[in-house]
């Protein structure tokens, strides 16, 4: 269980950093991260992506981000709860 927490924390920190880096690049008018890459980071670490979006105020106006990322986070939380046996299966 401890390694799962470490893995989830790591991928979410990487995801958040990806959003922060892209925002920094946008402000400096430099090369940007593809939206598909940012969405892939969100699939892997949706909490980090959401925190990154809100912290850096990045991609908050784009529907594919402000709708998709909370949905991905919900799916990940539900999957984790199911895996941990917190959601009964009938």
User: Domain limits of the chain?
Assistant: 2-83
Question: Cβ distance 64 to 40 under 8 Å?
Answer: no
DSSP H or E stretch at residue 12: helix 2-27
pTM metric for this prediction: 0.89
Mean pLDDT on 17-46: 96
Give the integer Cα–Cα distance in Å for 53 and 67.
12
The pLDDT, as a whole number, for residue 56 is 96
CB-CB neighbours of 76 under 10 Å: 18
Mean pLDDT on 17-25: 96
Give the integer Cα–Cα distance in Å for 12 and 51.
9
| Residue 68, pLDDT above cutoff 80 | yes
Give the integer Cα–Cα distance in Å for 74 and 8.
14
- For 8, phi and psi rounded to 5 degrees? -65, -40
């Amino acid at each position: 269980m401890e390694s799962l927490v470490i893995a989830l924390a790591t991928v979410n920190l990487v995801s958040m950093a990806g959003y922060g880096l892209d925002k920094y690049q946008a402000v400096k008018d430099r090369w940007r991260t593809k939206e598909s890459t940012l969405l892939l980071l969100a699939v892997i670490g949706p909490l980090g992506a959401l925190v990154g979006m809100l912290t850096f105020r990045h991609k908050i106006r784009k529907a594919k981000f402000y709708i998709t990322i909370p949905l991905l986070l919900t799916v990940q939380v539900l999957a984790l709860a199911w895996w941990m046996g917190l959601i009964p299966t009938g």
